[in-house]
């Protein structure tokens, strides 16, 4: 698919340009309601076929364009009970019945898999059946999470209405210090601007963002959901094009033209010196309960969990391995690692990362959403304390409502696993 720019009359933000193109209008402004053609619709096993099939049956409808649909099984994999097995079997039958060729069964978490396979490109308008679908913004696409009813409408018509959101321009200058990652940026933002940024787009920009790898950019856009935003987005650059080519996709000729205009109007601006950021930790039970790691004290932990789309990509495992190399997990602490995709597991095995992690005492879990979403291994008991590289620490999300979950980067999670309590990873990287 070639995504062509629509000539604009007047300056627009990147998001406004994408919605202008998708709606066939020369210009859109925040607050307007427009109907957009969908370039890609993504679903997973939990909120996908089992939820939308009843709607399609009642309507007697079929999928409008199977080539624009991606389905990933990641929540119930591998099945741990009969209900999970039934849901997976239904998912497999549904994609076969509807001719969905882009089906990734037990290959990883949907947000990671979609980008690993180059399905998202600059300028696309995409929807996903998961709240962390804003991850797609790392590729320069506008991607939002929608519910099953809305997804059924998209599957039948290929369209959806959208109220044009305003854009927050989040400018990060400088460079992150060693031991500080994109996860620390997001936890900092959750604490600094809160989680009530309704119907806004978080556009990340600046030298510090340009230095980030694509997996790290995914974290920024993914956790726009924790900020309460409509989505997150990063304008494409050379790194974006390189990632597409690595996925076997040749970028469109105009890929780099998808940028906010210099004179575009933003709803708000925030300037941050990235070099001044310290590792961040969010205390229970909200990502907004964030403070520098030094302000939390030596909180004892029972479990350290490196998993989820935000915290178990190859770059995340590399962060953890740097801290863990030559060291051992503290007695009485469980360090669980659930790689974000099958490709991640393969690459981490090939480059020695898995050997480093397991030699330190890490327990390797299957690829998938796992305990981040309250599924499978790693669930917490009453009064247990966990530090995790996941995106959310709401009460009861990882098991018992009486457990406590702290959020941090893979660097900090690994440091806590070694110390047996919350600790600054920079002390182990020096």
Q: Which domains does the chain have, with CATH numbers?
A: 14-273 (3.30.499.10), 281-429 (3.30.499.10)
Residue 237 Cα distances to 12, 92, 125, 269, angstroms: 18, 37, 18, 21
Residue holding tokens 């079929």?
62
Let me know: does 412 contact 180? Beta carbons within 8 Å. Answer: no
Let me know: does 315 contact 353? Beta carbons within 8 Å. Answer: no
For residue 61, the tally of other CB atoms under 10 A from its CB is 14
Cα(66)–Cα(52) distance, integer angstroms: 14
DSSP annotation of 380 reads B
Mean pLDDT of all residues in 224-249: 97
Token pair belonging to 428? 């182990």
Mean pLDDT of all residues in 15-38: 98
Mean pLDDT of the residues in the chain: 96
Token pair belonging to 413? 């999670």
Instruction: State the pLDDT at residue 380.
Output: 95
Query: Among candidates 408, 411, 179, 392, which has minimal Cα distance to 291?
Result: 408
Helix (H) or strand (E) holding 410: helix 410-419
Strand boundaries in 316-415, DSSP class E: 334-337, 363-364, 385-388, 404-407
Token pair belonging to 293? 């790691």
Distance of CA 332 to the CA centre of its chain: 31
Q: How many residues does the chain have?
A: 430
Cα(68)–Cα(126) distance, integer angstroms: 10
DSSP state string for 207-261:
HHHHTS-HHHHHHHHHTTTTTT-SEEE----HHHHHHHHHTT-PPPTTGGG----
Does position 291 have pLDDT exceeding 60, yes or no? yes
User: How many Å from the N-terminal Cα to the C-terminal Cα in the chain?
Assistant: 47
Cα(268)–Cα(50) distance, integer angstroms: 40
Is omega for the bond preceding 78 within 30 degrees of 0, making it cis?
A: yes
- pLDDT tens figures, 154-174: 999 999 999 999 999 999 999
Instruction: State the pLDDT at residue 375.
Output: 85
List phi, psi (to 5°) of 293: -55, -35
- pLDDT tens figures, 170-202: 999 999 999 999 999 999 999 999 999 999 999
DSSP state string for 129-185:
SSTTGGGGGGGT-EEEE--HHHHHHHHHHSEEEEEPPEEEEEEEES-PPTT--HHHH
Let me know: does 121 contact 249? Beta carbons within 8 Å. Answer: yes
- pLDDT tens figures, 60-116: 999 999 999 999 999 999 999 999 999 999 999 999 999 999 999 999 999 999 999
Instruction: State the pLDDT at residue 8.
Output: 43
Let me know: does 385 contact 420? Beta carbons within 8 Å. Answer: no
Cα(37)–Cα(134) distance, integer angstroms: 17
- pLDDT tens figures, 84-94: 999 999 999 99
For residue 425, the tally of other CB atoms under 10 A from its CB is 28
Q: At 376, is the pLDDT very low, low, confident or very high (cuts 50, 70, 90)?
A: confident
Let me know: does 390 contact 379? Beta carbons within 8 Å. Answer: no
Beta bridge partners of 231: 201
Cross-sheet strand order for the sheet of 166-173: 231-233, 200-205, 166-173, 268-273
Query: Is 0.85 topped by the overall pTM?
Result: yes
- pLDDT tens figures, 326-368: 999 999 999 999 999 999 999 999 999 999 999 999 999 999 9
Q: At 233, is the pLDDT very low, low, confident or very high (cuts 50, 70, 90)?
A: very high
Beta bridge partners of 43: 71
Query: Among candidates 26, 23, 18, which has minimal Cα distance to 35?
Result: 23
Query: Among candidates 182, 190, 255, which has minimal Cα distance to 215?
Result: 182
């Amino acid at each position: 698919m070639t995504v062509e720019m629509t000539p604009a009359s007047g300056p627009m933000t990147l998001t406004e340009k994408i919605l202008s193109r998708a709606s066939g209008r020369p210009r859109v402004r925040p607050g307007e309601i427009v109907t957009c053609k969908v370039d890609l619709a993504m679903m997973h096993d939990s909120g996908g076929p089992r939820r939308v099939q009843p709607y399609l049956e009642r309507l007697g409808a079929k999928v409008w364009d199977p080539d624009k649909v991606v389905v990933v099984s990641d929540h119930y994999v591998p099945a741990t009970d009969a209900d999970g097995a039934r849901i997976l079997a239904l998912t497999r039958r549904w994609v076969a019945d509807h001719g969905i060729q882009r089906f990734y069964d037990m290959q990883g978490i949907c947000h990671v898999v979609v980008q690993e396979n180059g399905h998202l490109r600059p300028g696309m308008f995409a929807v996903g059946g998961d709240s962390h679908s804003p991850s797609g913004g790392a590729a320069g696409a506008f991607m939002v999470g929608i519910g099953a009813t809305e997804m059924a409408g998209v599957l039948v018509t290929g369209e959806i209405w959208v109220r044009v959101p305003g854009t927050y321009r989040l400018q990060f200058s400088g460079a992150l210090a060693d031991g500080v990652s994109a996860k620390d940026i997001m936890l900092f933002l959750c604490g600094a601007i809160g989680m009530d940024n309704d119907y806004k787009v978080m556009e990340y920009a600046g030298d510090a963002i340009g230095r980030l790898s694509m997996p790290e950019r995914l974290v920024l856009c993914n956790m726009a959901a924790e900020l309460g935003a409509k989505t997150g987005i990063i304008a494409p650059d050379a790194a974006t094009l390189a990632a597409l080519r690595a996925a076997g996709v040749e970028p469109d000729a105009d890929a780099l033209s998808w940028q906010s205009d210099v004179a575009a109007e933003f709803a708000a601006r925030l300037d941050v010196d990235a070099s001044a950021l310290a590792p961040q930790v969010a205390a229970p039970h909200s990502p907004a309960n964030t403070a520098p790691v030094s302000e939390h004290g030596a909180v004892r932990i029972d479990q350290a969990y490196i998993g989820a789309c935000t915290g178990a990509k190859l770059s995340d495992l590399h962060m953890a391995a740097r801290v863990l190399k030559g060291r051992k997990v503290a007695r009485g602490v469980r360090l669980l690692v659930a790689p974000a995709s099958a490709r991640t597991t393969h690459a981490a095995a090939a480059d020695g990362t898995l050997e480093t992690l397991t030699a330190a005492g890490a327990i390797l879990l299957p690829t998938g959403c796992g305990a981040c979403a309250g599924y499978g291994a790693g669930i917490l008991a009453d009064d247990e304390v966990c530090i995790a590289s996941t995106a959310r620490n709401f009460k009861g999300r990882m098991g018992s409502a009486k457990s406590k979950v702290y959020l941090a980067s893979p660097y900090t999670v690994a440091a806590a696993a070694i110390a047996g309590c919350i600790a600054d990873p920079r002390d182990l990287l020096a």
